[in-house]
């Protein structure tokens, strides 16, 4: 069997899974209205482990923006072992937990601890509707027909991310946002089919040893996930951070051959592009994901993927993710590595 067969297939078919989720939006709205008719929570916590923590980080940012409610993202292990640093017994929490398998040890143990020691309600987002997470949630939100053969999270990540956006829109009574979400499957499919060759061309002449992924606000969790994809599949040492944090020390170590991957925002666009000019002068190769091409791209971007024109930063990140996944997979294949089953990884992390 060809290397990367499952990962490539699952990256390409994720847009169908998104459409299936959106087709059930009416059911989600009814579930949210039934379960959250009274909003009695002091804080909303988003949690997960590994890729699911990156997902929680992105989802919490957009939830704050859409609903106006205060929301935080916490690694499940931090909630389990350091909850006294974060939570107060007199407050009531809505916890949104992510796990592809619904069986991740630290996530399940964190939720069990929270139920014992705090007042919580749990929304469980998982790709297994009969998993322990789904069974123990006050409101399970399963992603149907999203079984992955590859060890690497691809379509499960973006599908749970999309589901979190749908949940935020329903929770915040922002149903007009559905007009934007409805277009994501077709926009994503067309953009990926047209632009995946941009990734191929970028990697033809590059075998990166080090990479930095830059994303601010709603893109930070996605930048972290993109870095993880390159790290776990291609074994390229990767880091992720908010763009301007690069100026506070990390740029000192940038050297020729490093790649910089920017999830370009509208909110900080000028500052992000100026940062890339400075990093380019240090010899870095630049890969940009954006909604439109700026004149500044000339002489700056070694490669640019354009998708989501007219979409706000809130929703465009979902369209960026397939390219970040494909970048990691293609880099692995170019090195002769098997992205479907990287060494030392398991499908479910149990402690």
pLDDT value of position 238: 96
Interacting residues of 279 by C-beta distance below 8 A, sequence separation 6+: 246, 251, 254, 260, 286
Summarize pLDDT for 282-292 with one digit per residue, the tens: 999 999 999 99
- Domains of the chain by range and CATH? 5-181 (3.40.50.10490), 184-334 (3.40.50.10490)
Q: Mean pLDDT, to the nearest integer, of 262-281?
A: 95
pLDDT value of position 176: 79
Tokens standing for residue 175:
């149903």
Taking the C-alpha atoms of residue 133 and residue 130, their distance in angstroms, rounded to an integer, is 8
306: nearest Cα among 335, 264, 336:
264
pLDDT at 350 over 80: no
Decide the pairing of beta strands 139-142 and 92-99.
unpaired
Summarize pLDDT for 143-154 with one digit per residue, the tens: 988 999 999 999
Residue 48 half-sphere exposure toward CB, CA atoms < 13 A: 30
Q: Where are the alpha helices (DSSP H) in 24-154?
A: 25-35, 51-67, 76-82, 105-117, 132-136
pLDDT value of position 275: 96
Dihedrals φ, ψ of 205, to 5°? -105, 10
Interacting residues of 23 by C-beta distance below 8 A, sequence separation 6+: none
Higher-confidence residue of 350 and 270: namely 270
Place of tokens 């592009």: 273
Taking the C-alpha atoms of residue 193 and residue 214, their distance in angstroms, rounded to an integer, is 24
Tokens standing for residue 44:
């909303």
Q: What is the average pLDDT score of the chain?
A: 94
Most trustworthy range by pLDDT among 33-37, 54-58, 172-176: 54-58
* pTM of the entire predicted model: 0.95
Q: Mean pLDDT, to the nearest integer, of 296-323?
A: 93
Summarize pLDDT for 183-234 with one digit per residue, the tens: 999 999 999 999 999 999 999 988 889 999 999 999 999 999 999 999 999 9
Q: Strand 237-241's sheet: what is its strand order?
A: 237-241, 210-214, 259-263, 285-290, 303-306
pLDDT at 299 over 90: no
Q: pLDDT-derived band of residue 37, with 50, 70 and 90 as boundaries?
A: confident
Taking the C-alpha atoms of residue 320 and residue 217, their distance in angstroms, rounded to an integer, is 14
Q: Mean pLDDT, to the nearest integer, of 258-276?
A: 96
Q: Mean pLDDT, to the nearest integer, of 93-121?
A: 96
Percent of residues in the chain assigned helix, strand, coil, to nearest 5: 55, 15, 30
Cα distance between the two ends of the chain: 32
């Amino acid at each position: 069997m060809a290397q990367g067969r499952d990962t490539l297939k699952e990256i390409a078919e994720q847009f169908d899974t998104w459409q299936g989720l959106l087709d059930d939006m009416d059911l989600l709205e009814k579930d949210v209205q039934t379960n959250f008719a009274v909003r009695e929570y002091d804080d909303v916590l988003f949690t997960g482990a590994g890729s699911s923590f990156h997902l929680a980080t992105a989802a919490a940012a957009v939830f704050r923006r859409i609903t106006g409610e205060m929301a935080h993202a916490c690694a499940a292990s931090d909630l389990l072992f350091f909850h006294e640093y974060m939570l107060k017994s007199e407050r009531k929490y809505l916890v949104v937990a992510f796990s592809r398998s619904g069986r991740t040890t630290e996530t399940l143990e964190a939720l069990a601890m929270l139920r014992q020691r705090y007042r919580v309600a749990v929304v469980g987002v998982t790709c297994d509707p009969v998993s322990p997470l789904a069974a123990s949630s006050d409101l399970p939100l399963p992603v149907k027909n999203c079984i992955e053969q590859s060890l690497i999270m691809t379509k499960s990540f973006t599908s749970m991310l999309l589901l979190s956006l749908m949940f935020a829109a329903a929770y915040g009574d922002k149903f007009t946002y559905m007009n934007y979400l409805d277009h994501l499957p077709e926009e994503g499919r067309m953009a990926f089919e047209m632009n995946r060759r941009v990734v191929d061309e970028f990697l033809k002449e590059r075998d990166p040893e080090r990479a930095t992924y830059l994303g601010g606000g709603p893109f930070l969790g996605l930048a972290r996930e993109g870095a993880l994809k390159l790290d776990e599949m291609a074994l390229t040492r990767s880091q992720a951070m908010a763009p301007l944090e690069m100026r506070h020390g990390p740029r000192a170590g940038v050297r020729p051959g490093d790649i910089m991957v920017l999830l370009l925002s509208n909110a900080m666009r000028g500052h992000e592009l100026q940062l890339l000019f400075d990093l380019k002068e240090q010899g870095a190769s630049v890969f940009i994901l954006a909604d439109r091409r700026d004149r500044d791209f000339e002489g700056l971007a070694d490669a640019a993927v354009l998708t989501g024109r007219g979409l706000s930063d809130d929703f465009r990140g979902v369209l960026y993710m397939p390219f970040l996944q494909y970048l990691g997979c293609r880099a692995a294949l170019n090195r002769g590595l098997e992205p479907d089953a990287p060494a030392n990884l398991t499908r479910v992390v149990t402690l």
